[in-house]
Amino acid sequence: MNGTQAQDFAAPRARMVAEVEAMYAETARETGLAAMSPAVRAAMGKVQRHRLLDPALAAPAYRNHPLPIGNGQTISQPYIVALSTDLLNVKPGDAVLDIGTGSGYQAAVLAEIAGRVYSIEIIPALAKEAEKRLEELGYGNIEIKIGDGYQGWPEKGPFEGIVVTAAAPSVPAALVAQLKPGGRMVIPVGGEGGMQHLELVTKRADGGYDQRRVLPVRFVPLVPGK
């Protein structure tokens, strides 16, 4: 991609960041976050979302809403990606687990801040395409595997943070087990046809966890392995 083409997406990406910032202000009462952290704002302004999508979706890539990526899946709304990353409170050097790779956009945003991102995708075609595009963008700190998100990736844990990008009917115990004490998980909880909420789970030193509803959301369901 030449400099002119890259520049063509700089303005829409800046507009997207401004729209996300405005949504933070609108939802501050529910989320407790009035603005993006500097690290998340920088990541959102840097990640080339259009290069993680089919070229046919390049034009709407920086609109602040979900987009289809095939196989019945979507790329999450940029606001939700930013909010999930902020709620995790990711720090440089952290190991983070990303459940539901999809296009790789959430993993890329996390990888701009965290030390290492481990991402799981159950649909092989999506995993392979995301891996290829993320490699082309130079993300050497993301590792992807094809597998069941409900089971996590225990060999790579424990993690400072876990973000789940599809809705589960309840918080999976296997994922809580893979959080470090004090670690956080952001996960949509609820049925496919009913009410879902983005929830923040914080693991306690005694192995239990505290759970807080953040705001209502609508996600595709987290598909269990066979």
Q: Identify which of 91, 90, 142, 136 has the alpha carbon closest to the alpha carbon of residue 116.
A: 142
C-alpha–C-alpha distance, residues 90 and 166, integer Å: 20
Indicate if 76 belongs to the active site. yes
Give me the helix-helix angle, 38-46 and 10-26, nearest 10°.
Answer: 150
Residue among 76, 84, 103, 119 flagged as catalytic = 76
Q: Identify which of 99, 91, 90, 149 has the alpha carbon closest to the alpha carbon of residue 119.
A: 99
CB atoms within 10 A of CB 124: 10
Q: Identify which of 18, 189, 39, 4 has the alpha carbon closest to the alpha carbon of residue 110.
A: 39
Q: Identify which of 151, 133, 11 has the alpha carbon closest to the alpha carbon of residue 111.
A: 133
The token duo for 38 is 């500097």
Residue 172: cis peptide before it, omega within 30 degrees of 0: no
The sign one gets for the Cα dihedral 121, 122, 127, 128 is positive
Q: 128, 76 in Cβ contact below 8 A?
A: no
Which residue numbers are catalytic?
Answer: 76
